[in-house]
Amino acid sequence: MFDWRWDFAFEIMPRLLWATLNTLLAAGIGYGIALVLGLVFALAQRTRFASLTFIVRELVEFIRSTPLVLQIFFVFYVGPQFGIRLSPWTSGMIAIGLHYAAYLSEVYRAGIESVPRGQWEACWALNLSAGRTYFRIIIPQALPASLPGMGNYMVGIFKDTPMLSVIGVTELMHTANALGSETYRFLEPYTLVGVIFLAISLPTAAGLRWFEAWVRRSLGMGR
């Protein structure tokens, strides 16, 4: 192509691949936080306390309707104003974890609501505690319905990690920016970043579809 230099592309490839590991690490930690916190958000909306439901509901709506990149800045800069210094990694993980927790809580909520009413009544009739009802009966059945959404947001969080570069997390985009400003060549770094993203997200998405089908089959739910 026009001005594409293969030697330069090969030269920067090792650095980009190392940065990819950071990107994957950030996505992994962020997703882990989101998975757990999302469940907390979802269950908090199902308690007897109407005010708690209201507060969590509004919080989820607020997080979902505002840009992630602004939330990342907010978490990173607001701490120091109160004397709490957070590293770029810590604040980035908090922001991205919270953001996706809000999305995942909606996925969980829909999954839990898809469990037939009779299952709840059966648990009640058997005098199961709330904990056992949720963790042994409801959540295992809600999971298959939630899997597609969970998978989508897993790929989504991976694709949103470049936003962490704005506060200086040395992931893929940050490294590409650095390479660009060191060498004044933007074509190869940015194109390679795009290619790396495609090379990871497309197979992951395909793998997730396969995994969903496998889970549904092994639970005897057919298709």
Partner 1 sequence: MSYGDFLAVHGTRFLSGAIITAEQTVLAAVLAVAIALVMGLMRLSGNVLIRGVSTVYIEIFRGTSLLVQLYWIFFVLPLFGIPLEKFTAGFAAVGMNLGAYGAEVVRGAIQSVPRGQYEAALALNMSPATRMRRIILPQALLIMLPPWGNLMIELLKGTALVSLISVADLMFEAKQINATTFLSIQAFGTALVIYYVMARFLITPFMRWLEVFMARKMGRA
Q: What is residue 109's three-state secondary structure?
A: helix
Q: How far is the CB of 114 from partner 1 (least distance, A)?
A: 18
Residue selected from 10, 18, 49, 74 as contacting partner 1 according to rule CB under 8 A:
74
Residue selected from 201, 208, 212, 216 as contacting partner 1 according to rule CB under 8 A:
201
Smaller CB distance to partner 1: residue 141 or 201? 201
Cβ(190)–Cβ(176) below 8 Å: yes
Residue 78 found at the interface with partner 1 (CB under 8 A): yes
Residue 21 found at the interface with partner 1 (CB under 8 A): no
- DSSP assignment letter at 198: H
CB atoms within 10 A of CB 217: 11
Smaller CB distance to partner 1: residue 71 or 134? 71
- 96 Cβ neighbours under 8 A, 6+ residues apart: 26, 30, 33, 34, 68, 72, 157, 160, 161, 163, 164
Q: How far is the CB of 93 from partner 1 (least distance, A)?
A: 18
Residue 85 found at the interface with partner 1 (CB under 8 A): no
Closest CA to 71 of 100, 102, 90, 95: 95
Residue 215 found at the interface with partner 1 (CB under 8 A): no
- DSSP assignment letter at 2: T
Q: How far is the CB of 173 from partner 1 (least distance, A)?
A: 6
Residue selected from 10, 49, 54, 62 as contacting partner 1 according to rule CB under 8 A:
62
Q: How far apart are CA 104 and CA 52, in angstroms?
A: 18
Residue that has been written with the tokens 């298959």 in this structure = 144
Q: How far is the CB of 180 from partner 1 (least distance, A)?
A: 7
Residue 31 found at the interface with partner 1 (CB under 8 A): no
Helix 88-113 to helix 50-65 angle (10° resolution) is 120
Q: How far apart are CA 75 and CA 92, in angstroms?
A: 8
Residue selected from 47, 194, 214, 221 as contacting partner 1 according to rule CB under 8 A:
194
Residue 210 found at the interface with partner 1 (CB under 8 A): no
Q: How far is the CB of 2 from partner 1 (least distance, A)?
A: 6
